[in-house]
Structure 1
Amino acid sequence: MRRINLLFLILLSPFFLSQENDSTTLISEVKVDAYKKPVHFMASTKSVSVVSKNLLNQNTPERMLESVNQIAGVRMEERSPASYRISVRGSTLRSPFGVRNIKVYLDDLILSDASGNTYFNVISPELIDRMEIYKGPESGDYGAVTGGTILLQTKRSDQLSANLSAGSYGTFNQSFKFSKQSGKHFVGIFQNYYRTDSYREQSAVERKQFFIKDQFQYSEKGSLHAMLLLSDLDYETPGGLTREQMLINRKQARPATATLPGAKEQAAGIRNKMILAGISHEYTISPEFSHFILVQGSYVDFENPFITNYENRFEKNFALRTHFNYEHHWKTITAAWRMGFEGGINTILVKNYDNTKGVEGTPQNFDELTNRSGFYFLSQKLNFKERLFTDISLSLNSSSYTWNRLFPASGNGKVNFKNQWLPNFGVTYLLGKGFSARGKIGKGNSAPTNEEIRSSNQEFNLNLRPEYGWNKEIGIRKQFGNVIFLEGSYFDFRMKDAIVRRQNEIGQEYFVNQGKTVQKGMEILLESKNFTLDNPYFSRFKFRFSGSFYHFKFKDYVQNAENFSGNDLTGVPATSLNSLLNFIFFQKLSIDYSHFYTSKMPLNDANSVWSEASFVGNIQLGFPIEWGKTTFNLYLQIQNLYNTEYVLGFDINAFGNRFYNPAAKRSFIVGMKVDF
C-alpha cells in the first residue's frame, strides 16, 4: 500500500515544480488516422486511444504488453512468452489463446482473417511506430466485431538504426530498420531476430521476421503501396498449472498425470510460418473525390504439438478492401462520405495426429474449413462550425462457412449466418477551447472463428451462433492549459448469445453460446506534457495515469443444473490502474518508471476460484551518446522490479483447475540502439 501512496505523491509532484512548455505533444493535440479518415483527437466521436512512441519505448523486444497495458480498458495477457491475448473491455471471455473478436490492421494490410482470428504474435514490437486502439463496436468502418479494432502503423519518416540487446534467461534480440524517401519512392525495410529460453520449462521462443514496403507516388494524384511480411515464429508452450503445482515449483511445465503425458514429454509448442503480401492504390479523381483499393493474400503453415494430439494447419487467405471518398467544404460546414466494401476468404486444412513425444503419429482427423465474410459500409462525417462533429455509419455484414470432413469419416455442409445491419452513431461537441463532450451508440456482431467452429476436440460445432450486442457510451476530454490532459468515459454494453469456452476431462476445448452479459464501466486517462525544470540535475518530467473500473455480470446464464446469472464475468478484473513516469536527469539520463495494478478476477464461470490481485513495477534507464551524426542509445530494462509472484495470463474455465501460467520474476535486458 505504501508503494501505491508513493506513486500518487510522485504523480502530483509536477504541480509544485517550476515548468515551461516544450515541443512534446499532448495526446489531445494529435490526429487519429482512423484508417484514412483523419480527425483531431478532441473532435473524434470514437472511444480511441493512441499508443505513442513514448509508450512503445516501454516494450521489451518480444512483446507489446508494456505499452498496450497502459491503455485504459485494454489488457494484453501473456500465458507464456509469445502466447498472447488482447482483451478490450473483457473480449477475452472466448479467447483461450490468440486474438479474436478484435480487428487488426497493419498500415493498409488486414491482419485478421475472414473468420476473425489474428496471429498478433508474429509481429515484432520494433516494427510498429504507432498504434490506435478503438474500443467497442466500430462496425461501420471495420466490420463485425464487438471487442474493438487495432491499427498498427510502421515508420513513415526517414530512419536508419540497429538494435542489439541481451538479458535474463538467455534472451537475445537483434533488429535493423531502414526507411527513406528516394525520389517518388518511400522505402521501408525491417529485419528482426529474437530468442529466449524464458522463465519456465518448455517455454523457449525463437522469432525471425522480415518486412519491406514501397510507397510509390507516381503522380500528384496517385500512389501505389506494396508490402511484404515474412515471419517464422517457433515457441514452446509449458501449459497451465494448478495452484498447488505452482506453489511447489513456479518454473515447471505442466506435469504428467496418470492418464496424460506432460507438456515437456510431448514437446508442446507452436511453429508458425506466415507470408503476407498486399498492394494498395489511392487516386485523387478530383479535389473532392478519391478512390482506394487494397488486394492482399497470405499463407500460414502452423504446427501445434499438444498434450493429446499433433495438429498441422495450412491456411490460405485472400482479402479485398475498396472505398470511394467524397468531401466538400462550405462556409461553416464540412461533410465527408465514404462508401465501400471489405471482404475475405479463409481456407484452412487441419490435420490431427497422435503426438508421440513431439513426432506425428497415427492420423486422427483431417478436415477442411472455408470461411467467407464481408461487409458493405457507408459512413458520413459532418463538421458544423468546428464545434459540432458527427459520425454516422451503417454496414451490412455477411458471414458463412463450408466444412468438409476428409478422414476417417466423410461429410460436408454449409452454415450461413444471418446478415446483420450494424449501425453506429457518434457525436462530439466542443464546449470550449480544449474541452469536448461526446456520445455514441452502436451495434456489434461477432461470428465464431475457425478455432471455435472446429476446436481442439476436433468436432464441428455447427450450432454455434454469432454473439451480438449494443454499446452506449459518453465521455469528456479536457485539456488544462497546454500541459495536462484529462479524459473520462462511461459505457454500457449488453451482449447476447455470448460465446463461452469449455474444456473436457482431457483438456480439449469447445465453445457454446450461453446467455447474456451486462458490461458497464468507467475509464480514465490523466496525462501531462514534458515539464522542463529550472534545475541542472533534474531536467524534465512527464507522467501518465490510466484506470478502468468495471461492473461486468452474466445474465440469464444457466449451465446444466447451475445458474450463473449475476456472476462476475470470467477473466475480467474489476479494477486496473496503470502509471508511467518519465524522468530526464542531467539533460541526458532518462528513467521510465511504470506500474500495473490488477485486482482479483474470477477464473471460472461459477466464480468459485479467484485470482489474487497483483502490483508490478518496471523501470528502464537510457543514456544517449552522440558521436558525430550517430547516436548510441544505451538502455537497461528491469522487469518485475519488486520480484512479484503473479500470473500474466490465466487459462479461464480450465479443467482440473489448471488456471495458472506463472510469469517471470525479476529480470533484465541491456542493449544499445544506434541511430545513424
Structure 2
Amino acid sequence: MLAADGEYAESIQASDETVDTISVTASRIARGTKEVPAAISVIDAKRIDAEQMQNIKDAIRGTPGVLIESKSGGYDSRLIIRGAGQKANYGVREIMVIRDGVPMTDPDSFSRFDFIDTQDIERIEITKGPGSLYGSGSSGGTIQIISKSVFDVDGNRVKLGIGNEGQENLHFRYSQDINDSNSVLLTGSHRASDNSWRDWNRFDTQQLSLKHGLMLDSGATLETELSYSQADLQLPAKLTDSEFQTYRNSGEQHNTSSQWQNSGRYSTIWFFNSRYEQEFGNLTFKPRFYFNRWDHFHPVTGAINDNPGTNVFGTDLEFAYNHNLMGESTLVGGVTARLDKTENSKKYQYADVDTVWVDPDGPFGPSGFVNQIVRTNSDRKGALLSTEDASNSLFGLFLQETVRPTDRLTIDAGFRYDRMNFDIDQTEYGEYSWSTGSYDMFGAPVFTNTDTSFDLFSPKLGATYALNNIYSVYGMVAQSGQVPSESEIQSNPNLDAATARNIEVGLKARAKEWNLDLSFYRTTVTDEIVSVLQGGTTEFQNAGETLKNGFELSGNLALGKHLWLGVSYAYSDYQFEDFKEVVGYGSSKTVVDRSGNQTPFVPRHQYSLSLDYNHPSGFMARIQADTWGEYYMDNANTEKYDGYSFLTSLMLGYETGPHKVSLNVDNLFDKRYATEVTKDTQGDKSYSAGSPRTAMLNYTYSF
C-alpha cells in the first residue's frame, strides 16, 4: 500500500529472523522504525481493523506514554503525550496531528478530530516528545494518520454496524482505475450514538470524500482530495463528588447540578488538499497545498461561540536529496506556510437559564444582589457578548541531514524554525463574571487588539547503532517550542512560549516472533503553560520549570503460530521544579509555591496487556486490558484519584471470503470509573464519568 509520500508503508522483512515496520513521520523519509532515533509507535491496519473505530482512541489506547479518552465515544478526544496536552479543556493541544502529511493542527497547536474519517485509516504513527520535523510549535509529539491510498483499488467494502446505546456505523469505500494513469476513490461514513445512560451526550457525524490519483509518464504522482464533514456533538456536564458516587452505584448520569447543561460543538468542514511527488535524479520534490473552511456553533461554559467560518490556507514545500556524505546520505528540507483567518465570530449569552438572586459578597459586600445563573435549559442564543476578527499565521523552515558512516550507524542532525503571529481584534459588550455567576453588560463597548509573535527554534541530533540484525540502540537530544493558544493569549497576554528540551536513549529489537522497544527520557520544560482551575473557570500561567522523567516499554511475543501477546508500560515522574501558582480573584489574589509538586492528571504507572488470535480458518479475537494508576487532581497535590485497573475491550470475529462479522465490546466488565478528575483552587472536585459497557455488531462485505 502507498503511504502519504508515495513509499510503500508496510512491514518489511529484513532477514529470516527480523521484521520491522516502515515509518515516515519522524524524519519525513520512509525508514524502518528500528533505524529512527526516537520513540515511535505504529498502529497497523490489522490492529485498526480489529477495532470498531467510532473514535480515534479505539486504536491508540494502550500506547505507552499516551493517555487518550473520550467523553462521548464520538470524535472528541482528550489526548496527552508525555504530559503535553494536559491543559486542554477541549480538543487537543501541544501535539501535532497530521493526515497524509497535511497538518490538522492550527498554528496555535489546537487540533480536532471532527473531520477525520476513522473508518478510512490505514495506519497511525505516533512520535513521542520533541524532535519531529513535522512538529511546528508542538512539544508533545506528532500523530500522523495515514488514510487508505487512492491507488489501492482492491480495498472496496461496505461496513454496517449497530450496537446498544443507539450506536450506528455505516461506511462504504469504492475505488477504481479509470485507466493506466487515473484512479478515483469515493468514501462515506456515518457514525452516531445516543449514549442514553447520561443526559446530553449524543453525537452524530457524516463524512464524504472524493480522491483522485494521477500517475504521470514521468513517474510523478498527483493525489487530490475533496471532503465534507458534518459533526454534531453534545458535551455532557461534569459531576460533583456525590453525583459521581451515584453514577458508580447506578451506572446512570441524570439531573446533575452543573450550571452548564447544554454544551456542545456542531461543525461543518470542507477540506481540500493536493500532494505532488516527482523525482529528478537524486532529488525528490514533494509540494503539498491545502485549504479548508470550517464553521461551528459551540456552546461552552459561560457563553455560546458562533463562528460563521474560518478559512485555512496552507502549503508545505518539501524536498529530499540523496547524496554521499560520509556514506549514503539524505538531506530533507522545505518550508511551511499557513494562515487561519476568522471574521465576525461572535459570543452570546445563554437565553434560557434559571437564575436566583444572591449576594455573592455577603451582607456587607460591595456588589449587592445579582441574578446568578444556576442552570441552562437550552443552547438558544441570547444577548451579544462580543465579536472577533482573528488572523493566525505560521511560517516555518525545516532541514535535516541523515548520514550513514557505516552499515550500522545512522545519524540525524536537523532543525525547525517557526514564526507564529496572532492578530486578534475583539469588541466586548459584556462578559460572564465567574466571581458573581452572572452576566455583566458594559456601559460602552470595550475594544482590544492582540498582536503578538513567537519565534521557535527546534534543533535535533540523534543517532542509531545496530548491534546486530535484531538489536539497535539510539540516543537523541532535541528541543521544541510550544506557543500559547489563541484563547490562552486572550486570557493572559503576558504568557510566554514554552521550551521543551529532551534527552533520550533507547533500545529496539525486531525479530520474526517478537519485538521490543525501550526508552528512557528526561525532558526539561521552561515556561510551561499550566492551567489553573478556579471556581469553574480555567486560567493559564507560566511555570518556571517542569522536569519530566520517564521510562516506556512495549513489546509483542508470538505464543505459537496464531496467538500474540502484547505488553506496554510507562513510568512518568513529572514534577514542578519552579512554579508559583496565582490563586484567587482581584485584590484577594495570592501566590502559592507549588515547586516540588507532581503535575496533575498524569499517572506514574500506566500499563496494558493484549492477546491477538488469528486462525487460518477465519476465526479471530482480540482482548486488551488497560490500567491507569493513581494521579493528583490539582497543582496543590491535595488529593489523588485512584485511576482504574484492567479496563477491558474484546473483539470476536469470523471472516470467510468477502464476508466478515465481528463483535466489539468496550468496558467488558462494566467498570464504573472516571476518565478525568480535577479539583479547583477552592477545593471543589469535578468528575467526567467513563462509559459503561457497550457492544457493537459489525458486518463487512469486501469486493
Map of 1:144 onto structure 2: 137
Q: Which of 209, 217, 220 is the matching residue for 1:222?
A: 220
Map of 2:79 onto structure 1: 86
Q: Is the alpha carbon distance of 1:476 and 1:367 closer, same or farther for their aligned partners in structure 2, counting shifts above 3 Å?
A: same
8 Å contact from structure 2 (residues 622, 651) kept in 1: yes
Cα displacement (A) at 1:33: 1.8
Map of 1:643 onto structure 2: 670
Q: Which of 210, 231, 234 is the matching residue for 2:232?
A: 234
8 Å contact from structure 1 (residues 28, 42) kept in 2: no
Cα displacement (A) at 1:348: 2.7
Cα displacement (A) at 1:478: 1.8
Map of 1:30 onto structure 2: 21
Aligned residues: 630
| 2:46 counterpart SS class | helix
Write the distance in 2 (CA, Å) between the matches of 1:605 and 1:565: 10
Q: Which of 268, 278, 286 is the matching residue for 2:263?
A: 268
Is the counterpart of residue 623 in structure 1 residue 654 in structure 2? yes
Q: Is the alpha carbon distance of 1:38 and 1:652 closer, same or farther for their aligned partners in structure 2, counting shifts above 3 Å?
A: farther
Q: Which of 511, 522, 526 is the matching residue for 1:492?
A: 522
Cα displacement (A) at 1:102: 0.9
Please tell me the root mean square deviation across aligned C-alpha atoms, in Å: 2.4
TM-score by length of 2: 0.85
Supply the AA of the counterpart residue of 1:572. Answer: V
Supply the AA of the counterpart residue of 2:256. Answer: P
Cα displacement (A) at 1:479: 3.1
**What 5-or-longer segments of structure 1 have no aligned partner?**
1-21, 455-459, 533-539
CA offsets per residue over residues 231-275 of structure 1, 9 Å max, x none? 111111112111211112353257346xxx440xxx321101111
Cα displacement (A) at 1:46: 2.1
Aligned pairs (5 A) from 1:99-248: 99-138=92-131, 140-156=133-149, 157-158=152-153, 159-182=155-178, 183-198=180-195, 199-248=197-246
Map of 1:423 onto structure 2: 459
Write the distance in 2 (CA, Å) between the matches of 1:254 and 1:344: 44
Q: Is the alpha carbon distance of 1:280 and 1:255 closer, same or farther for their aligned partners in structure 2, counting shifts above 3 Å?
A: same
Q: Is the alpha carbon distance of 1:170 and 1:452 closer, same or farther for their aligned partners in structure 2, counting shifts above 3 Å?
A: same
| 2:689 counterpart SS class | coil
Map of 1:363 onto structure 2: 384
Write the distance in 1 (CA, Å) between the matches of 2:92 and 2:633: 19
Write the distance in 2 (CA, Å) between the matches of 1:353 and 1:115: 24
Cα displacement (A) at 1:68: 0.6
Write the distance in 1 (CA, Å) between the matches of 2:427 and 2:679: 32
Map of 1:475 onto structure 2: 506
CA offsets per residue over residues 551-603 of structure 1, 9 Å max, x none? 11111112234221111111101111112201246833211111101101112
Write the distance in 1 (CA, Å) between the matches of 2:685 and 2:183: 50
Q: Is the alpha carbon distance of 1:418 and 1:269 closer, same or farther for their aligned partners in structure 2, counting shifts above 3 Å?
A: closer
Map of 2:41 onto structure 1: 49
CA offsets per residue over residues 349-407 of structure 1, 9 Å max, x none? 43111112211110011122211122111110112332100111112221111110134
Q: Is the alpha carbon distance of 1:306 and 1:396 closer, same or farther for their aligned partners in structure 2, counting shifts above 3 Å?
A: closer
Write the distance in 2 (CA, Å) between the matches of 1:432 and 1:23: 12
Give the structure, 1 or 2, with the largest relative contact order (CA under 8 Å, sep 6 or more): 1
Supply the AA of the counterpart residue of 2:245. Answer: L
Q: Is the alpha carbon distance of 1:324 and 1:590 closer, same or farther for their aligned partners in structure 2, counting shifts above 3 Å?
A: closer
Is the counterpart of residue 666 in structure 1 residue 693 in structure 2? yes
Between 1:646-655 and 1:521-530, the stretch displaced more is: 646-655
Map of 1:6 onto structure 2: none
Q: Which of 549, 563, 569 is the matching residue for 1:520?
A: 549
Map of 2:449 onto structure 1: 413
8 Å contact from structure 1 (residues 519, 553) kept in 2: yes
Write the distance in 2 (CA, Å) between the matches of 1:201 and 1:663: 14
CA offsets per residue over residues 387-440 of structure 1, 9 Å max, x none? 100111112221111110134335343433342322101100011111100000
Write the distance in 2 (CA, Å) between the matches of 1:365 and 1:291: 45
Map of 2:399 onto structure 1: 378
Is the counterpart of residue 335 in structure 1 residue 329 in structure 2? yes
Write the distance in 2 (CA, Å) between the matches of 1:289 and 1:479: 31
Supply the AA of the counterpart residue of 1:598. Answer: W
8 Å contact from structure 1 (residues 471, 494) kept in 2: yes
Write the distance in 1 (CA, Å) between the matches of 2:228 and 2:18: 33
Map of 2:360 onto structure 1: none
Q: Is the alpha carbon distance of 1:364 and 1:325 closer, same or farther for their aligned partners in structure 2, counting shifts above 3 Å?
A: same
| 1:86 counterpart SS class | strand
Is the counterpart of residue 397 in structure 1 residue 418 in structure 2? yes
Supply the AA of the counterpart residue of 1:546. Answer: S
Q: Is the alpha carbon distance of 1:148 and 1:667 closer, same or farther for their aligned partners in structure 2, counting shifts above 3 Å?
A: same
Map of 2:289 onto structure 1: 295
CA offsets per residue over residues 188-207 of structure 1, 9 Å max, x none? 22100111111321101101
Cα displacement (A) at 1:181: 4.2
Q: Is the alpha carbon distance of 1:174 and 1:654 closer, same or farther for their aligned partners in structure 2, counting shifts above 3 Å?
A: farther
Q: Is the alpha carbon distance of 1:655 and 1:370 closer, same or farther for their aligned partners in structure 2, counting shifts above 3 Å?
A: farther
Map of 1:596 onto structure 2: 626
Cα displacement (A) at 1:640: 0.8
More helix by share: 1
| 2:487 counterpart SS class | helix
8 Å contact from structure 2 (residues 101, 144) kept in 1: no
Supply the AA of the counterpart residue of 1:225. Answer: E
| 1:515 counterpart SS class | strand
8 Å contact from structure 2 (residues 132, 141) kept in 1: no
Write the distance in 1 (CA, Å) between the matches of 2:342 and 2:131: 27
| 1:271 counterpart SS class | strand
Identity of paired residues, percent? 19
Write the distance in 2 (CA, Å) between the matches of 1:521 and 1:362: 49
Write the distance in 2 (CA, Å) between the matches of 1:634 and 1:503: 46
8 Å contact from structure 1 (residues 620, 636) kept in 2: yes
8 Å contact from structure 2 (residues 22, 33) kept in 1: yes
| 1:659 counterpart SS class | strand
Is the counterpart of residue 74 in structure 1 residue 101 in structure 2? no
Write the distance in 2 (CA, Å) between the matches of 1:527 and 1:562: 46
Write the distance in 1 (CA, Å) between the matches of 2:148 and 2:682: 44
| 1:137 counterpart SS class | coil
Cα displacement (A) at 1:24: 14
